[in-house]
Amino acid sequence: MNRIFNTSDMDGYGILDAADKRGYKNFYIDYLQKLALDREGAFKTTDVVLDFGCGIGRLCPWLASRCRQVYGIDRDIELLRLATEHNTRPHVAYQDYDGETIPFPQSYFNAILCVGVLQKRIWSDKQLTHILGEFHRILKTPGTVVAIEHVYGKSHVWSYQREELLAHFARHDLVCTAHYPIRRGHWPVLYLIRWGFIPLNFLPRLAQYELNKQRSETEAYLDYKDYLFRFEKKG
């Protein structure tokens, strides 16, 4: 297993769950998210892609294997150091970000990916509004934003609700073309995975099962689900 899945950072943003010391749960969620992104088919071989809030660069090499060029940006210098240490590849470049202006010119990217970073605990309403304006500025027309975020069935102090995210994007002329759950938050099977009771070689099949099951459901109620959102900047 790639040891990145049990490499710690202060808040756990870069590695999904910082408390997963063995890395089995992180391995499972990483595989499931990549499988969901592949199924969505949002990235093309000719694309220049921004991984916004890249953390330790978990997704950048994967994107680079599918796209022409990948840039990862983050506000945390320590996470970027880990990204350079663990996830340097051809066609991947990392750059720090001041939290205000995304350091690229207008209409530079074909697509933007953001996973687990469009959250209340990271960005206020005002900050998120500014970020989405920046997304619109740096995206080509047509261009795509793909996000994977926690969605709760009721208001939560850490996360935006589904309708809140849809409204924020709509205000910046980023049209939602797909949104659906890909993973249940506190699924009991996850604890079996984390404790090592399910063999690693079975996890890909389990991820396929969960993706298929969640796609047929529509809402998170008492708990949260990870949702995949796709937005388009259209001419």
Three-state DSSP state, 228: strand
pLDDT tens-digit map of 119-147: 988 899 999 999 999 999 999 999 999 99
Q: Does domain 3-233 have CATH number 3.40.50.150?
A: yes
Distance CA 223, CA 10 (A): 25
pTM of structure: 0.92
Could you tell me the CA-to-CA distances from 65 to 68, 70, 89 in Å, in that order? 8, 10, 10
Higher pLDDT, 219 or 160: 160
> Is 60 exceeded by the pLDDT of residue 5?
no
Preceding peptide of 103 cis, ω within 30° = no
Domain ranges of the chain: 3-233
Distance CA 46, CA 44 (A): 5
pLDDT given at position 44: 96
